[in-house]
Structure 1
Amino acid sequence: MKMKAVSQKALRCAVVLAVALVTAVALPAQNKPYPTAAQLAPTPPMGWNSWNHFAGKVDEADVRAAAKAMVDSGMAAAGYKYIVIDDTWQGKRDAQGFIHPNSKFPDMPGLIQYVHSLGLKFGIYSSPGPQTCAGYEGSYGHVQQDAETYARWGVDYLKYDLCSYLGIMHKEAANNPAKALAMQQAAYLKMYKALAAAGRPIVFSLCQYGIGDVWKWGPSVGGNLWRTTGDIQDNYARMATIGFGQAGLAKYAGPGHWNDPDMLEVGNGGMTNEEYRTHMSLWALLAAPLIAGNDLSHMSPATLAILTNREVIAVDQDRLGREGDRVSKNGALEIWAKPLTGGAKAVGLFNRDTQPHSMTLQLSVVNFPPHAHLRDLWRHKTVHAHHGAYTVTVPAHGVVLLKLTR
């Protein structure tokens, strides 16, 4: 009888220990400090977002296919890791106020588990307003509940779109810009604090179109990246307006805090491959998040080659964390440069004209000696300067992207 009693006691202890272990795994650790911005996003996030190609038609099958294609295509191996569902996933709230996905996403936790099983991370979308841009349920009045839901599901990235909260700002702040800005900042800070309280590390993407010079205050509300412009479109004119319009913002970016000129349109069909190389090169020089927006399941070899050019990606992901800026502008011809680790530098020669042009890079302009080593990152070959200058013909709407080392 005594031995039996001891066995039962041991069994009870084992059960208690097992429950404690399961709880420790299932729930975020509340006693650990929330990661710093530099820990959450030490380099610009890389991944895929559903909006540019699928918009409101996206469903679970599309997202699963994108995740699988990211791995199978080699994009994951090249550095892409976030699979982000944009607008239109939200369903209704239950009696307690917790959000549930709609019928397009019948098993959100299962979908997230699948994405994680591939070695990828998962992102989701909401708004501080009552509704999202597409008219779905926003987080207004339910910020803490939504943060807890995201943590429970296993979300790793949140895109938080101002959308209908703009109407609230305009109504309550009327013609008082300072009050409107304070309201916007408070709304983003509220979600950041809720995410931190929920305990799961989640990269926080501020989508508010650059309103109020967000690059000046984004870090103070927990932002890891912030949109600096309105929405991109899949055409050269809009891409160029946004990309080249980033001049002067470099000092506001760094590890954990990135200027975001919106997602990539590479492969969506509205530009030539030359223009898409310009798009990719410019975003890399800008240390911008590389968030693909095409159908990953149906990519041409050319599209895949652009998105997975590791030498170009290395410029974007350089650990120094410096954003590039414009060095010179001569009509439609622009030279941009980005400092890299070890004293190297990436230099882009951009031709915004509709005709090819010869361009010359004087190495002294970017503070390099005459006999520096030059590598063409799209042609994957070493090129040579003569008497301290490198001259090359740049295609219409094209780019020559170089890496200079001493």
Structure 2
Amino acid sequence: MRHPHTRTTRRRVVGALSAALLCTAGLAAPAAAGTATGSPAPAPAPAPAPADGLALTPPMGFNNWNSTHCGADFDESMVEGIADLFVAKGLKDAGYRYVNLDDCWALPSRDADGRLVPDPARFPHGIKAVADYVHAKGLKLGIYTSAGTKTCNEAGFPGALGHEYGDAQQFADWGVDYLKYDNCNNQGVDAKQRYLTMRDALRATGRPIVYSICEWGENKPWEWAADVGQLWRTTGDISDSWGSMLSILKQNLPLAPHAGPGHWNDPDMLEVGNGGMTDTEYRTHFSMWSMMAAPLLIGTDLRKASPATFDILDDKEVIAVDQDPLGKQGTVLSSAGGRWVVTKEMKDGSRAVALFNESGSPQRVATTATAAGLPDAPAYTLRDLWRHRSYNTAGTVSALVPAHGTVLVRVAVDRHWAANPPAVEPGLDGDRFVRPGGTAALTTSVTDLGRTPARRVSVALTGPRGWSVTATSRTGTSALPTGHALRTGWRVTAPAGTPEGSYDLAFRARYRSPAGVRAESTTTITLRVAEPPPAGGSYLSDLPWLSADNGWGPVERDTSNGETAAGDGHPLTVDGVVYAKGLGTHAPSQVDYYTGRACQKVTAEVGVDDEERADGSVSFEVWADGREVASTGVLTTDMAAQPLTADVTGAEVVSLVVTDGGNGITSDHGDWADARITC
């Protein structure tokens, strides 16, 4: 539960200094292992072998941190209520088993015997009673502590450093089934040693306890932890934003060779349902975590979850990708232009394929069955895992994927392929923007990807209430052979006075298979109603943006990024110079503006904000219609603001991008000070 920010960074620095001072004073740093009282740990002959069968598929369950932190609603009533909902809502049947407590479950001090004490206000009946309740539901209980003298919360609850054997036995006596072991206040003790000691302590209890290593990927645990724990965090903490989720996804994807049954890369818990992303983005989050064979730990308070959230979390066909017993993590086939193709080998010989669109506009994302690893065949069965429909394909696997969306399919060589209707692919060309009262010209297409023809094809496009949508060419055909497309032109008019923003149009294609089976393909087409900036010069912080993705908290206008809440920033300050206007961001960040081909130049003074003086380093870039037109290279906390000028003449969309400077995403608060655009 560490954040990529100064609070925990400073805590780690203080811990390291403390250890150094102890050594300088001739005192011993805390031992890496010990009983609850800090006495020498028992030293049984070699540690027993790990219990068989632990985490042969990625653990699935719940952790309270992302929704409650240390709030008052984190207590035994919540934990037991989550267990009830696992059963009542079918999540247990879908594979979720672990109900895990995070930080703040204990009192700030151990008892006179050195034992951990559950907070009597939060857990009046104790942890064992909660474990018994959870076990009675056929579920398992998890708990949290840190491989340091204190946990990561600022209140500083007791950590396990020097108390590993006593704490492990206490957890086992309570009936704990899962331990998340964090990394704060570790006093500079070698990371591998810290985690090995707790591994041996857990094994010594004789109870099978899944061991989750949470050292944030700082010491590359994927290279050494396969015989230490069952899963290891590969990144810093996730937050409930598109930018954070995307950054973690990109860090975890390359680690596929290190995952397998009983040892998993952990890109952190799920944010699905917490409100910081759209349902489309949450489906991408869940799809890609499943493709990465990641642990699926629900991070939203299920007592308040919407039906849409439950629909995502309990989709059994998507979960089956994550839980496939072969245990392969998905690998990247391509990612050009933000069009990601990720494929995952399945035990039955099929391939799961994720077509993921990173960009802010709909894009065609495509591959083939053979590129995904399947042998040549006359045709294949293609199963859409979110829509729960099966089709046949001659080999192409493609889709028009909405902005930030993912189409997840499973492709197989199957002699029954002809029983399914052909797969068809919607397509879109033309305008992406329309002014209030203006008209956009669009061309839709529907292409037969199947081995069999699509018959009696008809298409329809429906806009929001009050919009005018008129076809300018044919909307149907009697037959569509393999590889052929029906193209239809449309005029779409937004009513005068329509507020700026994104508006969805529904595109539907209906058709029949040669055997008369009815089929339908639907997709969402998004048009943006927008006006270009006014003539002359404008501060970008005074203009509406199309979208703003940020790695930590929201993008702030005329203040620094601050922390996670909106409006919690400070005056924009770079190397002691204060700026009244600008944008406060945190890498990775992208802010898009509609410029309507009417603007010429962007200028700014850019640098790392003084509120994060630890180890921040970023690079600033300006993009025009997907093409980089200016960049700074890496800027760090000890540098003055740098001038940046970009020629954006003729661009429809201008993007301000901040990327990590190469040292990990920590303290990367980037300021676009005095950012202006000339139109």
Do Structure 1 and Structure 2 share a fold, with TM-score over 0.5? yes
Distance in structure 1 (CA, Å) of the matches to 2:288 and 2:52:
23
What TM-score comes out, normalization by structure 2 length? 0.52
Whether the 8 Å CA contact 2:50–2:203 is kept in 1: the answer is no
1:392 counterpart residue number: 399
Q: CA deviation at 1:335?
A: 0.2
The C-alpha deviation readout for 1:251-279, integer Å capped at 9, x for no partner, is 10111000000000001111111101100
Which residue, out of 399, 412, 419, partners 1:405?
412
Distance in structure 2 (CA, Å) of the matches to 1:317 and 1:340:
10
| Alignment partner of 1:217 is 2:224 | yes
| Alignment partner of 1:108 is 2:116 | no
Distance in structure 1 (CA, Å) of the matches to 2:353 and 2:48:
37
Distance 1:71 1:126, change over 3 A: same
| Alignment partner of 1:204 is 2:222 | no
2:370 counterpart residue number: 364
Whether the 8 Å CA contact 1:374–1:404 is kept in 2: the answer is yes
| Alignment partner of 1:192 is 2:192 | no
Distance 1:38 1:332, change over 3 A: farther
2:76 counterpart residue number: 60
Matched AA of 1:217: W
Distance in structure 2 (CA, Å) of the matches to 1:250 and 1:36:
23
SS in 1 for 2:341: strand
Which residue, out of 131, 147, 158, partners 2:168?
147
| Alignment partner of 1:375 is 2:389 | no
Whether the 8 Å CA contact 1:38–1:255 is kept in 2: the answer is no
| Alignment partner of 1:239 is 2:245 | yes
The 5 Å alignment of 1:276-287 reads 276-287=282-293
Distance 1:391 1:219, change over 3 A: closer
Whether the 8 Å CA contact 2:63–2:102 is kept in 1: the answer is yes
Moved more, 79-88 or 137-146: 137-146
SS in 2 for 1:245: helix
1:81 counterpart residue number: 97
Distance in structure 2 (CA, Å) of the matches to 1:143 and 1:333:
46
Whether the 8 Å CA contact 1:38–1:257 is kept in 2: the answer is no
2:158 counterpart residue number: 137
Distance 1:373 1:37, change over 3 A: farther
SS in 2 for 1:76: helix
Whether the 8 Å CA contact 1:324–1:339 is kept in 2: the answer is yes
Distance in structure 1 (CA, Å) of the matches to 2:397 and 2:216:
38
The count of residues paired between Structure 1 and Structure 2 equals: 359
Matched AA of 1:159: K
The 5 Å alignment of 1:5-404 reads 36=50, 39-57=53-71, 58-91=74-107, 92-103=109-120, 104-106=122-124, 107-134=126-153, 135-165=156-186, 168-169=187-188, 183-220=190-227, 222-368=228-374, 369-370=376-377, 371-386=379-394, 388-404=395-411
2:657 counterpart residue number: none
Q: CA deviation at 1:95?
A: 1.7
SS in 2 for 1:256: coil
Whether the 8 Å CA contact 2:355–2:399 is kept in 1: the answer is no
Q: Which runs of 5+ in 2 are unaligned?
A: 1-43, 414-679
Name the larger-Rg structure.
2
Matched AA of 1:95: A
Whether the 8 Å CA contact 1:227–1:260 is kept in 2: the answer is yes
Distance in structure 1 (CA, Å) of the matches to 2:366 and 2:55:
36
Matched AA of 2:143: I
Moved more, 149-158 or 132-141: 132-141
Matched AA of 1:372: Y
The C-alpha deviation readout for 1:323-345, integer Å capped at 9, x for no partner, is 11111111111100011012111
SS in 2 for 1:93: coil
Q: CA deviation at 1:62?
A: 1.3
The C-alpha deviation readout for 1:15-66, integer Å capped at 9, x for no partner, is xxxxxxxxxxxxxxx9xx9564661110000000010001101111111111
The C-alpha deviation readout for 1:177-199, integer Å capped at 9, x for no partner, is xxx6xx11111111111111111
SS in 1 for 2:393: coil
Q: CA deviation at 1:245?
A: 2.4
Distance in structure 2 (CA, Å) of the matches to 1:391 and 1:318:
23
Q: CA RMSD in A?
A: 1.5
The C-alpha deviation readout for 1:158-209, integer Å capped at 9, x for no partner, is 00001111xx11xxxxxxxxxx6xx111111111111111111100000010
Report the structure, 1 or 2, having the larger strand content.
2
Whether the 8 Å CA contact 1:229–1:242 is kept in 2: the answer is yes
Whether the 8 Å CA contact 2:353–2:411 is kept in 1: the answer is yes
Distance 1:109 1:237, change over 3 A: same
1:7 counterpart residue number: none
2:435 counterpart residue number: none
Whether the 8 Å CA contact 1:161–1:208 is kept in 2: the answer is yes
Whether the 8 Å CA contact 1:284–1:313 is kept in 2: the answer is yes
Report the structure, 1 or 2, having the larger helix content.
1
Q: Which runs of 5+ in 1 are unaligned?
A: 1-29, 170-179
State percent identity of aligned pairs: 47
Whether the 8 Å CA contact 1:89–1:105 is kept in 2: the answer is yes
Q: CA deviation at 1:247?
A: 2.5
Q: CA deviation at 1:383?
A: 2.8
Moved more, 155-164 or 140-149: 140-149
Moved more, 195-204 or 100-109: 100-109
